[in-house]
Amino acid sequence: MKVPVAGERADGKAPRLAIYDWNVTDTPWQGDTVSLVDAFRRGERSPAEELTATFDAIDRSNLNAFCFLDRDAALATAKNADVTRPFGGVPIGVKELDHVIGWPDTDASLVFKDRIAESTDTMLMRARAAGAVLVGQTTSSEFGGVNLTRTLLHGATHNPWKHGHTPGGSSGGSAAAVAGGLVTLATGGDGGGSIRIPAGFTGLVGLKATYGRIPRGPGASFGNLTTTIGCLTRSVRDTARWFDVCNGHDDNDPLSLPRVDGWEAGLGTVPTRGLRTAVVPNWGSAVVSPAMWAVLEEAAEHLIDIAGLRRVTDVDMTLPRLGAAWSISGMAALAYELRDYWPACADILTPEMRFGLQRTNGLYGTEARGKFEARRVELNRRMAEIFDNVDVIITASNPDVAFSAEGPLPDTFGGVIAGAGNNGVLTFPANIYGNPGISIPAGTVDGLPVALQVMSRHFTEPLLLELALAFERSRPWPLIAPH
């Protein structure tokens, strides 16, 4: 059985997608989501047998990618799947921090291990209406607060490219499930890099959309106005189809954006030639592994060449530092959620969450809030100035390859000491500013994936998908980790 590769074609024409000859039904589909739907429609595979193969593979897996399975409900849905719908019959993973009525609502924490969700998120209702089969929950970091997936509730989740390494976080279980060949698509959320970071660590496509592109909730709090939701996928067209289905305003989220159509149909049509781009190895003052950057810089030059971009080097790309105000205000929101349990619950929190609450206890107030807003304004102004001079920013998704699945967060990157705070520096700016960014698989270092992060102005996700598609077509990447 051939391992599929994104963008590959057997007929010698412009590469788009691998051709498969599937003679087995005891293995989940190893291609992308769109090709699975096509196989359903051709009658080559049924949603029920695909779901059975999926559950069997999850049961055999040592990745710890799933923490809850809704077997009976999923099978009933699969048996009645309408494969004419965009995701008709496709099993998908649901990030542990998302909500499905009747499923666990734990926030990946022992504190809430017995809590049950009382509503279903708008994104998942739309996915269901489009035919998706919700398999169960994929593991997350506790409260989505750290970029590795290891909790006291579920243990450590592993990277399918190299066991013992993290798939990242907080959407780490989703990344492990998709890259590990268990499901073709899983949901994710990105409040500080939690889609792009795990996508980068596992060789997947991870689009953080413009803030509000897909509505959150019902019942989601706004917090620092940084969190967007979406998916982790094996191909660009899978991501485009997800946004076709899930984007658009919902009254439960008054900050969500109006609907935009044509995401998948528009692939291959967005002009890129002549757009100005800056390649920034130290985006946000990050320290990036020199060995990894050598691979990514060549990949960036390749993307510039194939897309006809124009590289500019005379633009000031420095950003203001946010300081501790962002983390202090985030921890204040968590402290409120844990108000009836803290500090008695300290010993059943992950070390990162416990340390964050202890370190920021009593620090949040009018001064901290004012500093955060002042720094957001400063960053907004700086980002606007940058996008006056460039159309596209290219950097890394992560400062180094995936680290230990058990942690702790690394403080050294390719031999360069930079401190643990360096881990999310590359991704935070797009969350604060609210503009889109995408992680594109770009190669490997020491047998682990590395990825380009490409960012653009608000509302220009189709441009990012176009650039990712150009890279996918010219340098097809493995859709799943090598077995």
How many other CB atoms are there within 10 angstroms of residue 368's CB atom?
Answer: 18
Given this model, what pLDDT does residue 9 score?
A: 39
- Each residue's pLDDT tens digit, 91-112: 999 999 999 999 999 999 999 9
Given this model, what pLDDT does residue 424 score?
A: 92
Q: Are 399 and 423 in contact (CB under 8 A)?
A: yes
CA distances from 219 to 120, 122, 198, 215, 250 (A): 10, 10, 26, 11, 12
DSSP-based three-state secondary structure for 29: coil
Q: Are 185 and 140 in contact (CB under 8 A)?
A: no
Given this model, what pLDDT does residue 3 score?
A: 40
Q: The domain at 33-272+463-474 falls in which architecture?
A: Alpha-Beta Complex (3.90)
Average pLDDT (317-337) is 86
Label residue 1 by pLDDT band (50, 70, 90): very low
Label residue 188 by pLDDT band (50, 70, 90): very high
Domain boundaries, the chain: 33-272+463-474
- Each residue's pLDDT tens digit, 13-48: 443 333 333 344 679 999 999 999 999 999 999 999
DSSP string, 174-204: HHHHHHTTS-SEEEEEESSSTTHHHHHHHT-
- For the entire predicted model, the pTM comes to 0.95
Percent of the chain whose pLDDT exceeds 90: 89
- The residue among 450, 433, 440 whose CA lies nearest residue 473 is 440
Q: Is 357 left (phi over 0), alpha (psi -120 to 50) or beta?
A: alpha
Given this model, what pLDDT does residue 321 score?
A: 85
Cα(131)–Cα(133) distance, integer angstroms: 7
Given this model, what pLDDT does residue 25 score?
A: 61
Given this model, what pLDDT does residue 6 score?
A: 64
- The residue among 142, 130, 116 whose CA lies nearest residue 185 is 130
Catalytic site positions:
95, 170, 194
- The residue among 69, 228, 57 whose CA lies nearest residue 139 is 69
Given this model, what pLDDT does residue 276 score?
A: 98
